[in-house]
Chains A and B, each alone.
Chain A
Amino acid sequence: MFNYNLKLSLKSMRRNPIMTGLMVAAIAVGIGISMTTLTVYYMMNGNPIPEKSDVLFAVTLDNWNPIRPFDDDRPERAPHQVTFHDAERLLAIGKGKRQTAMFESSLIIEPIDDEGLPFEAGARVTSADFFVMFNVPFIYGSGWDKSADAAAEPMVVLTKGLNERLFGGEDSVGNWLTMQGTRFLVTGVIDTWEPTPRFFDPINGGFQEINEMFIPYSLTRVLELTSAGSDWGWKSEEINSFEEWLNSEAVWVQYFVELESTRERDDYLVHLDAYVEEQKRLGRFERPLNNNIYDVMEWMDYHEVVANDAKILLGLSFLFLVVCLLSTIALMLTKFVGKKSEISLRRALGASRKVIFNQQIVEVAVIGFSGGLIGLSLAALGLQGIEYLYDAPAGLVKLDWVMMFTAIGIAIVSSMIAGLYPAWRVCQIPPAAQLKTQ
């Protein structure tokens, strides 16, 4: 019966090619637009590290101005980054299962041979636990040891792209790299790693490419590394040396901790409070105790990683889909007027209402499926357009399997909804009415 219905719907679609074309086009455009915006939203709203998002926490401490909060609009919030020296001390105490501090910087890589030119590369200055905590995949080698952190040894982990540029993609572990006069030992090369959004640093952009290399946090003092990300300060402090800058109240370091159980979380908050109480005795942290930890998804919400424009477009494009469906219903209803005589004949020849209804629904589904397929290609095109318009890293927004099935699903379900009423109207046609005259 299904095959027969399929055949009938194809015939029916051919009988009225303009109407059919309009219906398919309406659904295709509706799906194309709404899938484009839904994919962008889904990408922005996605969980970048689903396997660990509930055990990784960003840490905030309130070292801000005693007379005004960090964020006037949200006075309950502590600054979203911590000071260099607080991060350093929390790392040394190491109370969590794992912890890491980090900031963005950049270094000049000097040429390996005589022909090359020096160039600047972005670096994430971080500590040993980073790679294990965030499940970073390696092609060669691994991260550095904690001992390298402690001794401030110049070591570097390269991304696949930078390793390609410097060593032609070969296993470079054990090689040396000169950056700003210091020789760094390559300990590992990571594989393609694109957590989206870039959850560990939404402050400097949730959809940037990750930095090209990773070096130990403890090198900051030795090499006088400065942050390429944003920094915030409130206190007028006299700063006449790099050391004084590192010891200032300016916040520019992101701090993450891994905690597995509720108990560990509670203990960690107690530990943070104890740390701040101790600092209070030294005259710092003049605001009331306000230490917080945020898991990955809370941290994404905190930074409103999903752009308002993406939400507006999502809302408007679903209204657009509604218009497309209204068009489809109107066109289908109109089309059914033209089918009256055939339907009443089929009813007379023994087709029950249910059979006729099914026949219409199959036709509707065929139209929905075709519209959905075309809509998918439109969405793929739309996403390329969006990458171009927003200057996003290539391949940042793409239609994965989930999105493709969602698109076809939405196309079929919504055209079914659009087709239900017309189909119901069609099967109300009495078997006799149209038989006598034509």
Chain B
Amino acid sequence: MGLGPMMSSLMRSKTGPLLVALQIAVTLAIVINSLYIVVQRVERINRDPGLDVDNVIIAYVRGFGENFDVVDSITNDIILIKSIPGVVAATVSDHVPLSGSGSGTGLRTVPDETIEPVSTGYYRWGEEGLDALGIELSRGRNFFPEEVNYILPASDPPTPPSVLVTQNLADDLFGEEDALGKTVYWGNMEPSTIVGIIGHLHGSWVTWDKLAHVVIQPGKPANTTNKYIIRVEPGMRDGLMPIIEQKLGESNRQRVVKSVRSLEEMAARSYRRDRGMAIILSIVISLLIGLTALVIVGLSSFHVTQRTKQIGIRRALGARRGDIINEFLLENWLITTVGAVLGIILTAFVAYWLEVSFELTRLDWRYLPAGIVILWVLSTLAAIEPARRAASVSPAVATRSG
């Protein structure tokens, strides 16, 4: 049977095939848009944060009681932590990258309040900060130990002369020019000099579009809660976490060890919305594809049963098995293609809705042909077994009356 008669056969029983085509269209729209979101989220989760996520431990401690001296406590804690075998480097910091908790500020290249500052994440940590996070300095130098001083709560220390910035921040501040050695101005119009440039580093808030803007001041923040960033030898993290917690707990009873966690876990927590969305949408995609495939199998099988007599007659008139299979597959392919064409339009509508209502980036058009190919393969796979069953109908069926 050629294309012409087949089309007319399809048109005669138009509702059924039209429904399947519609189903395929909506499936395409959901699958393509969901897949696009999944890929984006996975890409986001897998971005390089510019630090050694796997081997960093974060400890939170908090002192209380009247005799508690926060500076003593931090000094002793860092010495204690570094004495534990397997620890590579440690520092106290006011915030932890990727943790969801941080500070932000604005920097300017000229001391003029009327100019819009460049927003950036902002940290204060000691000379071992880079080492403790496994951050690579691409140019310039790290802080000298003598530049690093304790910063007491409710104090306003002088603005430090030296700062580190990420390349991304440097580019947004100075454009083409080399930022190393240049001066930046803080909100109070005090200047600092860029002494080192970090090739790449992510700050605290993973959903922020200026995540790669980071400026670091030298300092040992002595706040109510002290955060220690500790890097350990590869593979030793999970073993060392309880040891660190225990030793910190024993060393000073005027202090509570709030928690000891891996940076990996904290980063995963920051990305949990993206991961959750990716997982949910993957489940939706799988269920949808499974359902559509099953429906195609079910309907094709039913049609084979319905047309047994007709197939038998055609076989008796000389159609080969291959002809019958081709006919079924071609019919199925036609329906899928009609669905795919409708689906492209629908996909565009959904993509538009997502773009306009939720500011998602515009759908990459290459997903469309990919989605259509997937549907073709899928619907052919679903129809092949029923088609083979159709081909196995005996020509003798034609002569039976019942």
Contact = CB atoms under 8 A, between A and B. Distances in A.
Is there any pair of Cβ atoms, one from A and one from B, under 8 angstroms apart in the complex? Answer: yes
Nearest to A16: B302
A315 interface: yes
A438 B291 contact: no
A309 B284 contact: no
Nearest to A235: B187
Main secondary structure of the interface of B (DSSP, over half): helix
Interface stretch (B85-93, B130-138, B237-245, B350-358): B350-358
A236 B273 contact: no
Nearest to B22: A326
B23 A309 contact: no
Given A120-B258, A315-B353, A19 B281 contact: no
Contacts of A322: 26
Interface stretch (B44-52, B60-68, B208-216): B60-68
B295 A241 contact: no
A19 B298 contact: yes
B19 A329 contact: yes
A308 B20 CA distance: 31
A263 to B, nearest CB: 38
Contacts of A307: 273
Nearest to B23: A326
Nearest to B359: A308
Contact of A120 (B113, B153, B256, B275): B256
A33 B284 contact: yes
B155 A240 contact: yes
Contacts of B277: 309, 312-313
A425 B15 CA distance: 11
A335 B299 CA distance: 9
B276 A386 contact: yes
Contacts of B275: 389
Contacts of B298: 18-19, 22, 331, 334
Interface residues of B, number: 60
Interface string A325-342: 011011101110110000
B142 interface: no
Interface stretch (B30-38, B70-78, B316-324, B379-387): B30-38
Contact of A319 (B26, B65, B156): B26
A115 to B, nearest CB: 14
B39 to A, nearest CB: 15
Contacts of A67: 113-114
B280 interface: yes
B272 to A, nearest CB: 6
A334 B302 contact: yes
A299 B22 CA distance: 41
B402 A181 contact: no
Contact of B64 (A26, A181, A236, A327): A181
Interface in B158-214: 186-189
B377 interface: no
A331 B295 contact: yes
Contacts of A309: 273, 276-277
Contact of A389 (B154, B276, B291, B303): B276
Interface of A: 18-19, 22, 25-26, 29, 33, 67-68, 108, 110, 117-120, 180-181, 224, 226, 234, 236, 238-242, 244-245, 307-309, 311-313, 315-317, 319-320, 322-324, 326-327, 329-331, 333-335, 337-338, 385-386, 389-391, 421, 425, 438
